[in-house]
Amino acid sequence: MQHSLKMLRNVAAASIICVLSLHGAWAADAKAPDKSITKSPREILADWGIQFNATYISEVFGNASGGMRRGSIYTGRLDLGTDIDLEKVVGWTGAKFHANIFQIHGQGLSRDYIGNLMLVSGVEALSASRLYELWIEQSLFSGALLVRVGQQASDIEFIDSKYDDIFTNSALGWPGITGINLLSGGPSPPLAVPGVRIKAQLADNITAYAAIFDGDAAPPDRLVDPQIANPHGLLFRVNDPAWIIGQLKYGFKVGQSNLPGTVTGGAWKHLGDFGDMRYAADGLLQADPLSSGVPLKRRGNQGIFGVYEQMLSRATPGSDNGVGFFVRTSISPSDRNLISFYVDGGFQFSGFSDARPNDKFGVAMTYSRISDAARAADRDAQAFTGTPYPVRDFEAVFEMTYLAEIQTGWTVQPVFQYVFHPGGGVVDPNDPTQTRRIKDAAVLGLRSTFNY
């Protein structure tokens, strides 16, 4: 027993000496760091031209009143991406590669609780793991011309404002009119499509954009949700009628403070077939019981749009923070589109607190007008059935949000939205008389975003 205790004391003493020795060695290293190991693996990869990034967005949204029913949901999206400088990696001058994937999980508040057209969150989608973007971009003429080829989205560059990025409603990212009217919602989250985009710097303050995309991210079966028809983003469709879009952006500065602003104008054209909102293929009204019920095909679709954004004041002289304003508007033909007129706009406030320089506050409003043809179809249904169905008119959303930076790479964002006339004023599916609209909805939410 005494021998065992003595052995334990010796082991303990040796352990203490070992720990002290290691601590001394660590302290010496801390005083004189080895410069050869100061870079992190991420920094070493960046030197080689390889960057990895990860973003996780988690959201809790609840429908406090109105809508189809009250309730709350959780939604999450993990976005894993890489950017590779092909000049550094393989010697391909002026080229870069980008790819990213989504892992989406959770429920959708708009789909299951409200019934609105313009989703409460741009993250809302059916649960899936999917490839999103996969493209190569070539820089030419010292960067004056950029050509991008591959599976890509359009919402980052087209019909966009830098002051709308804070908001969570999907229409305040990719405008409601294109997201609703285009097949499969157009190339925007969660479905990108193959295409070619050209960006040309025509002058210091003039930039031109043009792109041609495959016109549909999923097989043309309108009875199947496109997210189900293309569950993993791997269809790489290239044989559908094309969707073409172009815009011209003009930058300027106003006032003694040189407050920056831009004006953007553009148009798009889709070469595919679209169903008439009112008439059937046999020439009768779709609401007529004697009609085929199959919509009359309309060849092609189009739209024009404009964007204006302006910094109204700076937080401090020379600062990029301050008060920013934006407005976007677009129109499309009434006979083949559910939405014929769209407008949104809002304000973003940043840099208003020295203690919290990266916090932002925003208020915005969207308005989508139901087309005359769709409204006429509702009146037709009233006439043929004798039931006083509601005639759809518009859907509008008010959003107010505050984005707080908790620490570098982590933000938390409380959100309030009020949805007017969900679905454009569509019939409430819970109403047995089929005569009442879905009630306006008040939504509360919290988004948390981690970036690495």
Q: Is residue 36 part of a domain?
A: no
Q: Is residue 37's pLDDT more than 70?
A: no
Q: What percent of the chain has pLDDT over 90?
A: 86
236 lies in some domain: yes
Specify the DSSP element, H or E, that contains 347: strand 339-350
**14 — pLDDT class (breaks 50, 70, 90):** very low
- CA dihedral of residues 175, 176, 179, 181 (deg, nearest 10): -120
266-290 pLDDT per residue, tens: 999 999 999 999 999 999 999 999 9
Supply the CATH number for residue 442's domain: 2.40.160.180
**Number of structural domains, the chain?**
1
| Domain carrying residue 193 | 50-451
Instruction: Tell how far CA 237 is from the center of its chain.
Output: 21
Strands 206-214 and 339-350: unpaired
Q: Is residue 6 part of a domain?
A: no
Question: What does the pLDDT read at residue 318?
Answer: 87
User: Is the whole model's pTM more than 0.85, yes or no?
Assistant: yes
Within 10 angstroms of residue 110's Cβ, the number of other Cβ atoms is 26
Strand (E) or helix (H) holding 410: strand 410-420
Q: Report the chain's mean pLDDT, rounded to a whole number.
A: 91
pLDDT, residue 220, reads 81
The answer to whether residue 30 is domain-embedded is no
Q: Domain for residue 22, yes or no?
A: no
Give the pLDDT confidence of 345-397 residue by residue, as tens digits.
999 999 998 899 999 999 999 999 999 999 999 999 999 999 999 999 999 99
pLDDT at site 42: 87
The answer to whether position 322 is within a domain reads: yes
pLDDT digits (tens, 9 = 90+) for 404-427: 999 999 999 999 999 999 999 999
Note the pLDDT of residue 256.
Answer: 87
Domain-located, residue 200: yes
Contacts of 410 (CB under 8 A, 6+ apart): 448, 449, 450, 451
Tens-digit pLDDT profile for residues 75-109: 999 999 999 999 999 999 999 999 999 999 999 99
Average pLDDT over residues 232-237: 96
pLDDT of residue 206: 98
Best mean pLDDT range from 253-262, 301-310, 313-322: 301-310
